[in-house]
Amino acid sequence: MKKTITLTAIVCTLVMNAQTKITYPESKKIDHIDTYFGEKINDPYRWLEDDRSAETEAWVKAQNVVTYDYLAQIPYRNQLKTRMEQLWNYEKISAPFKEGDYTYYYKNNGLQNQSVLFRKDKNGKEELFLDPNTFSKDGTTSLGGINFSKDGSLVAYSISEGGSDWRKVIVLDAKTKKIIGDTIVDVKFSGVSWYKNEGFYYSSYDKPEGSELSAKTDQHKLYYHKLNTSQKTDKLIYGGDVKRRYVGGGVSEDENYLFISAANSTSGNELYYLDLSKPNSKIVTLIDNYENDNDVLDNKGSKIYLVTNYKAPNKRVVTFDIANPAKENWKDCIAENKNVLSPNTGSGYIFASYMKDAVSFIKQYDYNGKLVRDIELPGVGTAGGFGGKEKETTLYFSFTNYVTPNTIYTFDPKTGKSEIYQQPKVDFNSSNYESKQVFYTSKDGTKVPMIITYKKGTVLNGKNPTILYGYGGFNISLTPAFSISNAVWLENGGIYAVANLRGGGEYGKEWHDAGTQFKKQNVFDDFIAAADYLIKENYTSSDYLAIKGGSNGGLLVGAVMTQRPDLIKVALPAVGVLDMLRYHTFTAGAGWAYDYGTADQSAEMFEYIKGYSPVHNVKAGTKYPATLVTTGDHDDRVVPAHSFKFAAELQAKQSGDNPVLIRIEVNAGHGAGKSVAATIQENVDMQVFTLYNMGIKNLK
């Protein structure tokens, strides 16, 4: 008989001071041996992978009791939460978008758990259209996405329950708000793309055997759902006789084509199309390999506008006739240059958003590739938007940086003039703070950018509490953006630094590839060099430095804290990929192999991955930093077992008195759709844990 862990037997009474020795819940060890290329690897906490077992549930509860007891006794926890709520409590309004006879926009009065979708008619009369706060009593069911038919008369919206990636899709008559047909279930990693008012395309996996939150899902399928029919009769469009991990379909604005993207990894994709104007047409191949990233931007009749990094690591826009898609027929519309391109379309123009050293600048082109103008932005930071339907006369864009709250602007594509549309009223004086971009040298001599933000007049004496944040993977770029949580950190004298590591997309495909597979250590070296720079330049010191990252960034934190435990005082790995030998066996994890490789592909790759896998590099007798691992029990992107096993290893092997705690949010997933209340409390807990373990006794 397995013994169920009981809380009363294992939870200690905590007497709080910075050197408290914590009695952790029991994490039993059961030998479980896996063999990789002749080498035996013990996985004693394999039992924690079973997210449906009573023992795992009891372990989660026990860990949370210890963690929350510790956090509750930090003297300024409530004070910091009060300030965070004060700053968070301002009205937030999104850019509007027109659908049919209405103009829609999201609004949050400040502390609502989920933003509410409103609309105005042609007379300016406002009404509530959809309130996600009514989806569940505890605010854990969120709006996943919303898509209107071309004429705006029908709408399909998806919901996520408990933060899961599995979604349900509900269809409404937009005018009456009455539900049409049955709810579509078991939808995952999918948008909804309407074809006329007849139905829509969506993607999903077959429900896996075993736990739907952790079992492997690797055959994605594209379906067509006809309105007022049973989901059981939905037509399989792609993915039945061919196995692809990621499949998506989108209908062109003129509704003549369905474009299908198919991939086995998060980088590189095939491309197909279906001619919807011809009955019984067959799927036609446009691109038959995964060597590059290819996305259809738009079409003008049979002329296709494609965004690609084929022979253009920083991307370009090419055109070709759909009947002659061979690469030798491609013509540059917007040629590649030295900065990374992310284009959008609206009002009959192409808006080329470029990134130079992680900062935005925008150029407006016509569909012949002729430059119309360079768009003047409000400052140095991140601009996004400029998207819209072809006939829109006014577009919108957002602008933000680390000290400027996200502000919405109108943009006239004919004149190039912009005006403030919605400027948030945040109780934060941006003029008291500054951001500085520096370039530091990594281990192999590579120059890496980092933006450091702090209160003006900060004395560089090595004693400033500092959070160093990073990601370094999957071609994701970290660009300047305002955060209430970071604003509170800055108010309390903290420094916030963001390093643009290799593996990200800040300098295109070459920068991304330089942090993948056998080059993954470059990412960790870049992060370590960023920490060394901050210490060398007296922004902070090892006693006042925390490192933070989520998902792939959680791997980053886990790898760096196990490689250089002496470098930092606090580690904050969130929803991290931490068991690198087994990540590809859960949910859609096998699709991450472009970045990581897998332990199964070769002996060399196994040895390389094992060399940095955080779970496998925790060593007994080592003094690790104070660590707060965070995850969600419904995370089906990076399953919480990664975090469970890492915390168990650290608690068993930690020497010294630095606490190792794990905070497991219940009914929460990888992060998307998390309620405002839960988000605030999680940020408060990470900050007070960090400050407390740096020896900070009072807030400024």
- Structure confidence by residue, pLDDT tens digits, 583-618: 999 998 999 999 999 999 999 999 999 999 999 999
pLDDT at position 242 is: 92
Question: Average pLDDT in the 669-678 region?
Answer: 81
Cα torsion angle, 27, 7, 625, 584, sign:
positive
Establish whether 584 is a catalytic residue: no
> Of 584, 616, 634, 670, which is the active-site residue?
670
- Residues 387-407, mean pLDDT to the nearest whole number: 96
633 pLDDT tier (thresholds 50, 70, 90) = confident
C-alpha triplet 270, 271, 275: angle, nearest 5°: 155
In this predicted structure, what is the pLDDT of residue 3? 33
pLDDT surpassing 60 at residue 303 = yes
What pLDDT, in 10s, does the model give residues 435-460? 999 999 999 999 999 999 999 999 99
Residue 435 is among the residues annotated as catalytic for this protein: no
Region 58-81: mean pLDDT is 97
Instruction: Say yes or no to pLDDT of 11 above 90.
Output: no
Question: Are 668 and 197 a contacting pair, CB within 8 Å?
Answer: no
Among 44-58, 129-143, 283-297, 506-520, the range scoring the smallest mean pLDDT is 129-143
Written as six digits, the tokens of 510 are: 């070459």
Does 213 score more than 90 pLDDT?
Answer: no
Q: What is the pLDDT of residue 89?
A: 97
pLDDT at 209: 81
Q: What mean pLDDT value characterizes the chain? A: 94
Is the pLDDT reported for residue 16 higher than 50? no
Which candidate in 142, 442, 551, 613 is catalytic?
Answer: 551
Q: For the segment 449-500, what is each residue's pLDDT rounded down to a tens digit?
A: 999 999 999 999 999 999 999 999 999 999 999 999 999 999 999 999 999 9
pLDDT score, position 331: 98
3-state secondary structure 354-406: EEECCEEEEEEECCCCCEEEEECCCCCCEEEECCCCCCCCCEEEEEEECCEEE
Residue 656 pLDDT level (bands cut at 50, 70, 90):
confident
Contact 145, 132 (CB under 8 A): no
Strand pairing report for 418-422 and 433-441: unpaired
Structural contact between residues 348 and 325, judged by C-beta atoms closer than 8 angstroms: no
In this predicted structure, the answer to whether residue 271 has a pLDDT above a threshold of 80 is: yes
Say if residue 17's pLDDT is above 60: no
475 φψ region: left (φ > 0), alpha (ψ -120 to 50), beta (else): left
pLDDT above 70 covers what percent of the chain? 97
Mean pLDDT of 300-317: 98
Report the pLDDT value the prediction gives residue 20, as an integer from 0 to 100.
Answer: 58
Q: Sign of the C-alpha dihedral, residues 232, 235, 238, 241?
A: positive
The rounded percent of the chain whose pLDDT value lies above 90 is 90
Tell me the mean pLDDT in the region 324-332. Answer: 97
pLDDT, mean of residues 245-271: 96
How many alpha carbons lie under 13 Å from residue 501 in its C-beta half-sphere? 32
* pLDDT range class, residue 138, cuts 50, 70, 90: confident
- Helix (H) / strand (E) element for 521: namely helix 521-536
Angle (CA) 200-206-212 rounded to 5° is 115
Q: What is the pLDDT of residues 537-552, one digit of tens each?
A: 999 999 999 999 999 9
Question: Which residues make Cβ contacts (< 8 Å) with residue 176, sequence separation at least 6?
Answer: none
**pLDDT for the residue 162:** 83
**What's the pTM?**
0.94
DSSP code string of 492-518? TT-EEEEE--TTSSTT-HHHHHTTSGG
pLDDT at 635 over 80: no
